[in-house]
Amino acid sequence: MAKKKKKNRKNQKKQVNPGVKALDIILSVALVAGVCYGGYHVAANGVKIDQTTTYYTPDEIQESTEAPTEEAGIIYGNEEYPNSAIHTGTLILVNNNNACETGEAGLVSLGLKKLDADNHSFAGVTDNELSVTEDMADALLAMFDGFYNETFDDNILVVSGYRSQEHQQELYDEDLEKTGLDYSERVSLPGYSEHQTGMGVDLELVDGEYDGTGTYAWIDEHCAEYGIILRYPEDKQEITGITFEPWHYRYVGIPHAAFIMEHGMCLEEYIDYVKEFPYDGEHLEITGTDGKLYEVYYFPEDTEYETTMVPVPGGGLPYTVSGNNVDGFIVTVELGDAPAGGAVDTTDAEQPAEEESSEDTADGEAESPEESVE
C-alpha cells in the first residue's frame, strides 16, 4: 500500500508575505521594549498564554538580558524539530508499550570516566565496556561521591548500563531457555528495555545484593539531587510493568527527578502528568534541588507535517527540549535562582488511584539483577 507523503512545512514557509514578516519583526522589538503586551507574555509563575497571534522565530527575537519576572515575561519563539526527535532526550519513556528508538551516540565508558576523575567513592564497574550517556556518567560519579562522603562506604558496583538490542535478545532467549516459557516475565522484550537508552544502570554490592536498605537508603533519599530516580518502585509495579527493582536507577535530569521523587511518582506517571501543562495553558513550576527555579511545559508532535515547531523561550534563557517517546516534547526552562525557602514545586500533583501491586517473587523479596533483568 502506498504511503501518503506528508506535507512539507518548509515549502509553506517560503510563501510568507515579506510585509507580514517585517511587521512581525517590528512587533517583536516593541514587545521586548515593553511597548506592546500581546500573546507572547507569560508570567514566570505559569499563567495562561494567549496564542492568537503569529509566533516569532528565534532569529526574529531581539535578545534581552532582563531576568523574567511577573512584570517582564518570557518572549517565546519557534524552534523546528524533526518529529523523530520525540524519541530522543533525557525524558524519553521506554517500557513494554514504547520501544527505544535511540542509537548509541553519546555513550561513554563509566569505568574510564571514573579513572579520569580519579574517583574512589565506589568499587567500580564490571568491565570498561560498560557504557552510559555522558549525563548519567557525570551524575553517577557525583552521587557516589556524595554517598561516600556521608558513609565512607565504597562497596557499590555498577553491573549493567547500556545494552544493545542484540544483547537484550540474548538475555531474553537465555531466560526463555531457563524457564521453559514462551514469553519471558522477567526480561524486557528486545527493543523495549530502558537499558538501551544508556540512561539506566543496575547496582550491586561487592559482598552481596543491593537492596537499597540500611546505609544505602541514602541513595534513594538523595539521588534526585543528581537528576537520578529510582526507576521501578515497589508500589508502582502495575504501572511500570516491571517487578520492584531497588537496584535500577535512571537519569532524567533536574528538576524532573526532584518532582518525581518528591511526589512518589514513577516515570510513566510523570510523563502523563506533564501533559496537563501544555504550552498554551498553565506551566508547571518546580524548584529543583540545585536551588534553581524551572518552568516545564508540554507541546504535542505535529502529525500533519514531518517537523514540529516547538515554542521555546528567547532572551537568552537556558532551556532544554526532550521528546517523551510517546507523542510530543517536554520543554524545561531555567528561570534563575529560586526564591528563598521555595518548596520542591508550586503545584500539587494529584496521585492516581493506587492500584494493587503485582505479586513479588516466591519468597516475597525482589530478585537480584542476575535473576530478574529489566
* Contact predicate 220/244, CB 8 Å: no
| Beta strands 284-287; 245-251: pairing state | unpaired
Alpha-carbon torsion (124, 126, 128, 133), positive or negative: negative
- 45, amino acid identity: N
**Phi/psi at 186 (5° precision):** -120, -20
C-alpha cell at 263: 511526589
* Contact predicate 53/39, CB 8 Å: yes
Q: How far is CA 316 from CA 24, 64, 113, in A?
A: 20, 7, 31
Choose the catalytic residue: 194, 204, 225, 245.
245
Burial string for 26-58 (b: 16+ CB within 10 Å, else e) reads: ebbeebbeeeeeeebbbbbebeebeeeeeebbe
Question: Is 245 an active-site residue?
Answer: yes
Could you list the active site residues? 245
